Amino acid sequence: MSHAGASWHTAAVTTASPPSRITAADLPALQRRTSAVLIGSQILGGLGVAVGIALAPVLASEVSGSEALSGLAPTASVTGTALLSLPLAALMASRGRRPGLVLAYLVGSAGALLVVTATVMGSFPLLLLGMAGFGAGSSANLQARFAAADLAEPDRRGRAIATVIWATTIGSVLGPNIAAPASHVFRDTFVPEAAGPFAWASGIFLITGVLVAVLLRPDPLLTARALAPKDTATAANRSLRAGVAAVRASPMARLALVTVAVSHTAMVSIMVMTPVHLGHHGADIQLIGLVISGHIAGMYAFSPVMGRLADRVGRLAVIGLAAGLLCCAALLAGTSGDGHARTAAGLFVLGLGWSAGLVAGSALLTDSVPQAARAAVQGLSDLTMNTAAGVGGALAGVIVSRLGYGWLNAAAACLLLPMAALALRRSLGRPARDSAKA
């Protein structure tokens, strides 16, 4: 067969063949195709989340008539992300990645439209409900990192996860910058300008859902199961109860769950209060925006480096790196006072630490549980991390108002101690490579 004929054959297999007909020889081409689709969906999905969330507090303030309630809009979005994690995981566990991701983007699209409707009607409760639905877009973006690992070789899972996380950088950077043009499109219409970005986000999520529905074939999770030992692929092993049992049975899975949750909680808690801290020390909106942009760059732009390190030197070593970076970030930011450059450096390092923790923790979690239970365990991970971050974000405001920004950073650093101790304990007790074989 000619090279062109072989290429056509491979494309035909990866796009049309059911999972049961896929062989190990087809996996490299299928993994590349799956990664390309997920990268495209991450760019669009990240754009949808960023273009909407950029003006969420402003919109909440306008609809409610109170600046004190402006923070409830992003809080509702985070809550929606957490609450939708388990239902999406249950759907993926039974039907595959594609139906779960498509449903999440459709719910996000409907939630964004509900936000627009609530703004037109002037209903604040309806706006919060819409923001909760909007959070489904974030749920889809988070779950996509696990979809990237379904077909990856064990020693390349970190890079597969990191590549999809990196793609979010593009949408996250572009989103806030197109929020203003998205608002101006609706000038002199019945739709308030502040709601314009959500109208755009609704369309973006819809397009992303269609992209995934059409191109994410065959389903990566179902394909991985078809190639797994048959005795592990029962429906009982794919239930959420089995997922909880799998985490309880694996010390490494518990460490991975703690790593993802603690890294995310520490990052969110410090990040959400940094604009307030900067404002108290005379920073203007432009400077605050630059600091947050640097933080986002640290979160996403260097994730491929973290993925390569996780695959090369091991998951546990990168978890230790995450703990060190996050502690360093808390020290820099917590002692910055009115030094804006020091605060900016702390937020950049905070993003790097989050990236290391999320990539290494997600890869270790995938390594450490049976293939059949992975979707359920991954949904449990996202529920845990978003719930913990929601609580952390809420408590952060109380700590800053009562004790100050420095004490918030000290509290975040204390959260990291159990994670670092667990990682050290597992490392000392496991001299061999810490990434389990799938």
Amino acid (one-letter) located at 268? V
pLDDT, tens digit (0-9, with 9 covering 90-100), for 138-187: 888 888 888 888 888 888 888 888 888 888 777 777 766 676 677 677 77
- State the CB neighbour count (10 A cutoff) for residue 134: 34
Rounded Cα gap, residues 343 and 278, in angstroms? 8
Residue 417: which residues within 8 A CB-CB, separation 6 or more?
none
Q: How confident is the model at residue 231 (pLDDT cuts 50, 70, 90)?
A: very low
Give the list of residues 6+ apart from residue 202 with CB closer than 8 angstroms, or none: 109, 110, 112, 113, 116
Q: How far apart are CA 411 and CA 405, in angstroms?
A: 10
Closest C-alpha to 311, from 260, 367, 262, 264: 367
Is pLDDT above 60 for 232?
A: no
Contact 300, 168 (CB under 8 A): yes
Q: What angle is formed at CA 260 by the lines to CA 255 and CA 266, rounded to 5 degrees?
A: 115
Mean pLDDT of 247-261: 93
- CA dist 324 and 305 (Å) reads 16
Please state whether the predicted TM-score (pTM) of the whole model is above 0.85: no
Query: Is-contact 302 355, C-beta < 8 A?
Result: yes
Lowest mean pLDDT among 123-127, 178-182, 301-305: 178-182
User: What is residue 283's predicted lDDT score, i.e. its pLDDT?
Assistant: 78
pLDDT (tens digit per residue) in 37-77: 999 998 888 888 877 766 677 777 788 887 667 667 777 88
CA dihedral 347, 351, 352, 354 (to 10 degrees): 130
Would you state the pLDDT for residue 438? 36
Q: What pLDDT, in 10s, does the model give residues 73-109?
A: 777 888 888 888 878 888 888 888 999 999 999 999 9
The amino acid that residue 410 corresponds to is A
- Contact between residue 349 and residue 341 where contact means Cβ atoms under 8 Å apart: no
